[in-house]
Amino acid sequence: MRKYEGRPFVLLGVNEDSSLKKLRDAEKKHDLNWRSWWDSDGLIASHWRLEGLPSLYLIDAKGVIRWKSSFPLDLEDMEKQIELLLKEAEDRE
């Protein structure tokens, strides 16, 4: 998601791989440039009541969930929603 660098956007990840090494290997292999938490005990997934992996949430600047998707992901719709939220944030600046 390097195309959003310098814009009012933050991407955070939660990962449930079986080991921290697998998480780090995946970050390196896929050139992931965002912060990811290793949810080794499943507490984050439980708190958010995830229905499947991967799950994506777009949260606006006020902390409101504006979009979510679980597998199978609709990445095209996600891009549209990101652009809408960025436009809102940049219009406020």
CATH number for the domain that contains residue 68: 3.40.30.10
pLDDT digits (tens, 9 = 90+) for 42-83: 999 899 888 777 778 888 878 888 888 877 778 888 889 999
Q: How many domains does the chain have?
A: 1
Q: What is the span of the domain harbouring residue 25? A: 2-92
The arithmetic mean of pLDDT across residues 17-38, rounded, is: 86
The arithmetic mean of pLDDT across residues 21-43, rounded, is: 87
| pTM, 2 dp | 0.69
The arithmetic mean of pLDDT across residues 30-50, rounded, is: 86
Residue 39, classified by CB atoms within 10 Å of its CB into exposed (0-12), middle (13-18) or buried (19+), is: buried
The token duo for 22 is 């697998």
What is the reported pLDDT for 16?
Answer: 87
Indicate the pairing of strand 65-70 with strand 12-15.
unpaired
